[in-house]
Amino acid sequence: MASSAKAPKTDTKPTLVNLIRGHLEQQSEPRSATEISAALTKAHPDRGVKTTVVRTTLEGLVAKSQAHRTEQGSSVFYTATAASEAAATDSQQEAVAG
């Protein structure tokens, strides 16, 4: 039974956080959660990417200073911060040190 528990392991796929961060870093303009969700669905049709989950993940990145939120009227757009790679590296180093 132990071997069957290891079979569905999905560590080989990049996390949604990594996919979103990577997508934002490739963009030259701010993107909405809907646009990001659509792009990820197109790029990764095997994953069930929902806009609400993308929005929640984006807000988590904003909270960690790995993305920036801009509000234009009732719309919200996101961009990658220049320090997103540095913040990711710092958090990995803290996890190793701690």
pLDDT tens digits, residue range 15-42?
Answer: 999 999 999 999 999 999 999 999 999 9
What domain range is 48 assigned to? Answer: 14-84
**Res 57 pLDDT > 80:** yes
d(CA 30, CA 39): 13
**Res 69 pLDDT > 60:** yes
CATH number of residue 30's parent domain: 1.10.10.10
Task: Identify which of 16, 75, 8, 84 has the alpha carbon closest to the alpha carbon of residue 50.
Answer: 16
pLDDT band at residue 2 using 50, 70 and 90 as cut-offs: very low
Q: How many domains does the chain have?
A: 1
Answer whether residue 63 is part of any domain: yes
Determine contact, residues 37/57, Cβ cutoff 8 Å. Answer: no
